[in-house]
Amino acid sequence: MIKVALTGGIGSGKSAAGDFFEDLGAVVVDADQLARDVIERGTDGFDELVATFGDEILTNGILDRSKLGQIVFADSEARKTLEGIIHPRVAEAFEEIIEESPDDSVIIYQIPILVETKGEDRFDYIITVEATLENRIARLKNRGLKGYEIEARLKAQASDADRAAIADAVFKNDGDLDQLLRQVENIYEDILLPRARASAS
């Protein structure tokens, strides 16, 4: 088994890379999805969130992510508090997925904030996806994000240089999806799959 961190700034294309890895047979885990799952209504994570931030983060009894986002993006202490609630639960959920996966799996963990959480030591291999700021902003606007939301999220993340400094491989994603797919295929077939099989034998 090989545990691979797939990181990159918002709008860089790491989700597209993750989809390609999944098509090739990797076990792909989305940290953002785990982070949503561990604070769903009915979980102890949800209860702790409401106890910490109050009912103003709810709309009709359901967690309103945009209200929570407005609080934590404006206040770094609030963001740290939120991370303290979510990150340990996400780590636990990820460990369960690893335990359930076959011994020769390539586990791809899509994690936007690898540098920020100093999580690189938990992985055998690190890939970062890069794209120009112009391309990233254009993609985020296509997703419906407003200019101020984009700016806040970009500010909250590490730089490309910080991510590249801890990466074993850097994917460039300023071309079409075929170019990204070729980079994914090459690294999967030449490096990741052989290493996963070697570790299982």
- The pLDDT tens digits for 19-65 are 999 999 999 999 989 999 999 999 999 999 999 999 889 998 899 98
Q: Looking at the predicted structure, is the pLDDT value of residue 201 above 80?
A: no
Contact 73, 153 (CB under 8 A): yes
Place of tokens 């590490």: 158
- Strand arrangement of the beta sheet that strand 169-172 belongs to: 27-30, 106-110, 2-8, 125-130, 169-172
Task: Write out the H or E segment, with its range, that includes residue 8.
Answer: strand 2-8
Residue 114 contacts residue 7 (beta carbons within 8 Å):
yes
d(CA 99, CA 178): 33
Contact 127, 5 (CB under 8 A): yes
| Local confidence band at 70 (pLDDT 50, 70, 90 cut-offs) | confident
Q: How confident is the model at residue 66 (pLDDT cuts 50, 70, 90)?
A: confident
Average pLDDT of the residues of the chain: 92
Reported as a single tens digit per residue, the pLDDT across 119-167 is: 899 999 999 999 999 999 999 999 999 988 888 888 888 889 999 999 9
> How far apart (Å, rounded) are the C-alpha atoms in residues 113 and 72?
15
CB atoms within 10 A of CB 53: 19
Strand locations in 33-141 (E): 58-59, 62-63, 106-110, 125-130
